Chains A and B, each alone.
Chain A
């Protein structure tokens, strides 16, 4: 690597990029215009909505007779509403149903229920924004110092309705206070204080800049990340696929520059443009806040500081992110032969980056030791915090280190891709081949990666819609229909229709004796070892809520209905063991095996297997079990070991959870119960006892060793069997 050559490439690429108007527009002009417009627009819309709400007249349809005193309170409000208060107007609608004679102390009153239908109509036709229901005996009850109920019917999802309810509620409260005072006047022996045991004040102590920062912190980091991404996007495509498309890549390759020098020159260009874009965005954002926002109405609500220190820290954090984006986008774009192709390839990358970014909006997602390790999300969270809180040094460094790590990783991958001749020339090989449906290699019809991915996606969608539908109708039959009818049958039909080699696709060979042994040992121990490990890891990453655990138990037939054991085993262990294996370790793995290395295949298949179990809380545990199942099937080149392991694992897990659950331990008995052979099941969250656990771990390890020893020479056979043979 000669730096002056890399520098020469960098200077030339930068010059060319700067001369490209598209880049300049995205890099500089867009941010300069975007932020002021965005802020002004945002604030105008917000203030417009607020003022519109205030100018509005809240229509209240009254059902029943309003007590006199209350009429006065409401009427007085109508005469002189404060500037920021809603003006209410009471209506007696023509088709108004009769008021209930009396109302109990329960909101679920059948009389009120009967009115909701009518209320829906009224709200829908905007005849009123809320309905006030007053019982026929209200006046009388009030007079004899009894309690009367008043009901407001409104729709929380309609802004106006919500506002009217708030106002009405406040007025009714003040009316109630007024009645209390009147009653007290009749009883000189009781003091006012008797009815006021507590004075409650709430005051929002967030400083204005923090309040504003909270709002801005939710929107601005997202925009900033998108702009850095966009800043990297054009040069990354232009310098790789664009260069190929224009025919200058070959010229460059004939020059005496090493691939590494070429990559570094280009990479530095993409990085610099992306960084420049980030700077332009930051500067424009700061300027917009400093000058444009000042003096606009509602300033005190949203104003906050983006001071020089914050800008500096955000800038520092954006450096590794820009490095990461540059490396990632170049690594993908270089596979493409044209601009258009590159855009197609980069769309999933874009999605991949946006998904963690959108997670910022989820409740409770905070910057912790774990989220600090998630690329992109960590920076968005950090920036959100920086805009409202004093910086936490440990988080700053943690995020920085994590992202530097990811960017180096991405860069290493990019370098490796670049040094492959076919990819740079855009001739043979590359991503295009991976996504192409080409089921025939050397005359034998085999599954392709494209087929695997398509099958997985279709199966996932089928499961999501049809599967849940039939399972809701009937759990046991629904499961059976899903497994055999919706998963296995279509897979078999597809393999037949495409005339794929079934023996090769499904790995229908019998394993050796030791392969069987390994599958059995691993099957019997993995629920304890992997289950515990998975639940520990899951708790670390994303703790499972209790409600989900209950739902899971129900979904596994362990709920209220007591199904007989054989039926449970058949439906939840044998049939998924067979059907899911033919799908995952069969067809899906068959398509991936030829193009990926051993561990990439295993991890990808397992990840798909995890995702297939739909819930975010099940991805990790299922994936971990999936890794072992996939490993066993892969190593033994047989689907049958996978089936066996899957069946045994599910069966033990099911039986253990059922029988340990059916006899709950009394609260006063200490949790360590030596007589209990069964360990607590993973999703019960109880700790596992180490003496028993260590036996399981040893057995599990023994199973793995048996597997690896028994299949030492096999994986290579598997690879070469699938890879096209050498030409004669």
Chain B
């Protein structure tokens, strides 16, 4: 069963990232079902959900790493499966567990990814220098990545994501396993990207991050969207005081629908 709605006109509504009825299934499991989503320029949208909810699958389809089973995803109007190359060129992708090449220095890694984006060498050098300056990477820009601390590596990763100045950023749990200093540094980078007019989609299961950053939030659980809207809308809908509470209620509801017996843990917190 394939149902595709026509994509909304990107330029008019300023939508840079869009998903329509996006679905991904594997031989024995449906990882994501019917995701509708739009992120406009200068907007940060959070994808919230517990582990295994389908967040990473969704983001990977935006990044053209996975092909949707049905539905469509587009970056700046380019379909991620049929125009993957163009879509990828508009995109910076970062995840918490992304590693860098151990035997390359951050500067060499930037050069490499610049070339993969088909940039001129002169442009790559100037962009890299600017990013190294801005992210404070001067001390370690020419050391091999295997010598760097986790925080330094993640900074290098951010630089790698931004080297081609993409209009769209996709961040898959970018702060996972980072200390608080680097974590907040990344959050600041996201705010700054928003200020620069980029569209940012990021996934997390940390409520405070979502609360702090997101203009809108999409909550997914077991591959399905259970709620979408601004923080206040979600809170109002669930009658919860905090976003965390709202989230738990939303997720708890879905659990109740799927399994007839009450999930004691969820319902306990919900009260």
Q: A residues engaging B (CB < 8 A)?
A: 2, 4-5, 8-9, 12, 15-16, 19-20, 246-248, 250-258, 421, 425, 428, 724, 727
B3 at the A interface (CB under 8 A): no
**Range, interface on chain B:** 35 or more
On chain A, the residues within 8 Å of B160 by CB distance are 251
Q: A248-B99, A251-B98 are in contact. Are A425 and B66 (CB under 8 A)?
A: yes
B 94-114 contacts with A by CB, 8 A: 95, 97-104, 108, 112-113
Does B118 interact with chain A (Cβ within 8 Å)?
A: yes
Contacts of A5 in B (CB 8 A): 115-116, 118
Q: From known contacts A247-B97, A256-B117, infer whether A12 and B89 are also in contact, taking CB-CB under 8 Å.
A: no
Q: Does B27 contact A (CB under 8 A)?
A: yes
CA distance A428 to B28 in the complex (A): 10
Q: Give the complex CA separation of A544 and B116 in angstroms.
A: 58
The residues of A that contact B67 with a CB separation of less than 8 Å are: 421
26 sample A-B contacts, Cβ–Cβ < 8 Å, listed by A number: A8-B115, A8-B116, A12-B104, A12-B108, A15-B104, A15-B108, A246-B99, A247-B97, A247-B99, A250-B65, A250-B95, A251-B98, A251-B100, A251-B160, A253-B63, A254-B93, A255-B88, A255-B116, A256-B89, A256-B116, A256-B117, A257-B116, A258-B85, A421-B65, A421-B67, A727-B27
Nearest chain A CB to B184 CB, angstrom units: 23
Inter-chain contacts of B144 with A (CB < 8 A): 19
A5, A254, A257 pick with most chain B CB within 10 angstroms: A254
Q: Which of A2, A250, A252, A253 is the most central at the interface, judged by chain B CB atoms within 10 Å of its CB?
A: A250
B26 interface residue (CB < 8 Å to A): yes
Interface membership of B142, Cβ < 8 A: no
Q: How far is the CB of B37 from chain A (nearest CB, A)?
A: 18
Contacts A16-B103, A248-B99: A254 and B30 contacting too (C-beta < 8 A)? Answer: no
B193 within 8 A of A: no
Whether A2 contacts B27 by the Cβ 8 Å rule is no
Question: Knowing A15-B108, A256-B118, A257-B116 touch, does A428 contact B27 (C-beta < 8 A)?
Answer: yes
Q: A255-B117, A256-B85, A256-B89 are in contact. Are A727 and B99 (CB under 8 A)?
A: no
Q: How far apart are the CA atoms of A7 and B156 in the complex, in Å? A: 23
CA distance A4 to B119 in the complex (A): 11
Residue B196 is within 8 A (CB to CB) of chain A in the complex? no
Interface class of chain A by DSSP = helix
| Neighbouring B residues of A250 by C-beta, 8 Å | 60, 65, 95, 98
- Measured CB to CB, the nearest residue on chain A to B86 is A256
In whole Å, how far is B114's beta carbon from the nearest beta carbon of chain A? Answer: 9
Question: Which residues from A are CB-within-8-Å of B118?
Answer: 2, 4-5, 256
Beyond A254-B88, A256-B89, whether A8 also contacts B112 by CB under 8 A is yes
Interface centre among A247, A250, A255, A257 (most CB of B within 10 A): A255
A19–B103 alpha-carbon span in the complex (Å): 7
By beta carbon, the residue of chain A nearest B170 is A254
Flag if A254 contacts B99 (CB, 8 Å).
no
B108, A727: Cβ atoms closer than 8 Å = no
- Report B-chain residues with C-beta under 8 Å of the C-beta of A428: 26-27
A258 to B85 CA separation, bound complex (whole angstroms): 7
The answer, yes or no, to whether B233 is at the interface (CB within 8 Å) is no
A727 touches B30 (CB 8 A): yes
Give Cα A364–Cα B118 distance, bound, in whole angstroms.
Answer: 56
Determine whether B91 belongs to the interface, using a CB cutoff of 8 Å to chain A.
Answer: yes
Nearest-CB distance from B76 to chain A (Å)? 13
Residues in A whose Cβ lies below 8 Å from that of B29: 727
The chain B residue with its CB closest to the CB of A16 is: B103
Shortest beta-carbon distance from B247 to chain A in Å: 27
Residue of A nearest to B62 (CB): A254
Q: Taking CB as reference atom, which chain B residue is nearest A427? A: B26
Quick one: which of A2, A8, A246, A421 has the most chain B CB within 10 A?
A8
User: Is B25 positioned at the interface, with any CB of A under 8 Å from its CB?
Assistant: yes
Contact A12/B112 with A20-B103, A248-B101 known, Cβ cut-off 8 Å: yes
Excluding A9-B116, A247-B98, A255-B116, 19 further A-B contacts by CB distance (< 8 Å) are A4-B118, A5-B116, A15-B104, A15-B108, A247-B97, A247-B99, A250-B60, A251-B99, A253-B65, A254-B65, A254-B88, A255-B117, A256-B84, A256-B85, A256-B88, A256-B116, A425-B60, A727-B29, A727-B30
- Expressed in whole angstroms, the Cα–Cα distance for A425 and B100 within the complex equals 16
Docked CA distance A379–B84 (Å): 42
How close is B34's CB to chain A, nearest CB, in angstroms? 14
Cα–Cα distance between A16 and B84 once the two chains are bound (Å): 27
Asked if residues A248 and B66 are in contact (CB atoms below 8 Å), the reply is no
Cβ contacts B42-74/A at 8 Å (1 or 0 each)? 000000000000000000100111110000000
A256 CA to B78 CA in the complex, in Å? 13
- Verify A254–B101 contact, CB threshold 8 A: no
Q: How far apart sit A256 and B60, CA to CA, in the bound complex (Å)? A: 14
Q: State A425–B56 Cα separation when bound (angstroms).
A: 13
Closest to B100 in A: A248
What 7 pairs across the A-B complex have the smallest Cβ distances?
Answer: A254-B93, A8-B115, A256-B88, A247-B99, A255-B116, A19-B103, A256-B89
Provide the bound-state CA to CA distance between A727 and B33, in Å.
13
